[in-house]
Each structure stands twice: as structure tokens, then as C-alpha cells.
Amino acid sequence: MLQEKGANAIVFGCNTLSSCALDAARNAFVGPTFGLLPRPELCAGKTLLLTTPTTALYLPKLSENVSLLTPPALASLIDGEYPSLKETERYLEPLIRPYADAETVYLGCSHYAFARRVFSNAIPNASFFSGVEELADLAYSVLPRCDVRSQNVDFVFSGKIEKNRYATLLSSLL
């Protein structure tokens, strides 16, 4: 479908989608296909890896310094109340309290970046990592240079609510 629309590259900005579908997309699409996959091996020291439960199903074996936390309602909660995050904070606080000594927190869901303040308040001495910057750098290094404002860029969303919420924001980033 995307090739029929003239796509010359695909970038999945979602860890869960990347975990579930990146390999299939790479097999079906001729052209660069990038995804956002958790890479806790890039983190040093005692690490807390936060992912959705579905993303966690596709993770390779984690090293002993990595603790995995998969709050089932977190992405939906953040998405539903951003930018307030009061309920998100109440939901997260008891879940992340046991990891207050983490040195690194890997935010393995693109939604979690919106709650970074909540995480950093709960784990103030940790450094935070999401992989989003590395994905952007990789795509930028591989794709031909062009003025994106003169290109036809289409965003594909999984539902109408997501499209209404994010299309304007993403378009403004171009």
C-alpha cells in the first residue's frame, strides 16, 4: 500500500509497532525501513527499561543490570490526559518507587517521552534515554538530503483520534 502511494522510505515511530511489524515491513517494502526498538544494551549501570506489555514480548534476553517494567495502562493514560499528567503521576508513582536507584531509565515507548518530567521527578538521579534521537539520526544519515518542506510527506495513523491529535503537531515539525 505505501509503495503504491509512492513512499520511498518508512519510519515507524512506535516501539510496539516496530517490535511487531518491522521485520515484515522490511520484507515487504523495497526501500529503507526504520523502526524504534528498545536497545537497553546502550545504557550503562543499573537500568530501568519501561515498555508496553506487547513490546516486552519481543525483547531479547535482558542483561542482569536491566529491570523491565511494563505498565499496561501507561501509554493510553498519557495519551488521554497529556499535557496534564496528574493521573499518570498517581498511576506511576507506586510502580516506579522500587526503581528509585536506577542510574538510567530507558523509555521504550514513544508516548513515555511526554511523561519524562514525571519519571525524572520520581527518579531524579537517573539519565534518560528513548532511542528517538538515534532513530532520527539514522534516518537522516541514510535518506537523501532534501528540503522536507518541498516534499510530499504523509503520516499514517492507526485511528482517527491519533490522526486528529498528532497530524498538526507532526506537520509543524517539518
CATH number at residue 98: 3.40.50.1860
Residue 33 has pLDDT above 80, yes or no: yes
Q: Is residue 1 part of a domain?
A: no
Q: What is the pLDDT of residues 126-174, one digit of tens each?
A: 999 888 888 888 888 887 766 555 566 666 666 666 666 666 656 555 5
> Is 87 inside any structural domain?
yes
| Domain span at 144 | 10-37+133-173
CA angle 28/156/136 to nearest 5° reads: 80
CA distances to 29, 60, 92, 105, 111 from 26, rounded to whole Å, are: 5, 19, 35, 29, 24
Residues 33, 110, single domain; the answer is: no
| Number of structural domains in the chain | 2
Judgement on whether residues 78 and 151 belong to the same structural domain of the protein: no
Can you tell me the distance from the alpha carbon of 65 to that of 173, in angstroms, rounded to the nearest whole number?
36
- Nearest to 32, CA basis, from 10, 4, 7: 10
Task: Tell whether 147 is covered by a domain.
Answer: yes
User: What is the average pLDDT score of the chain?
Assistant: 84
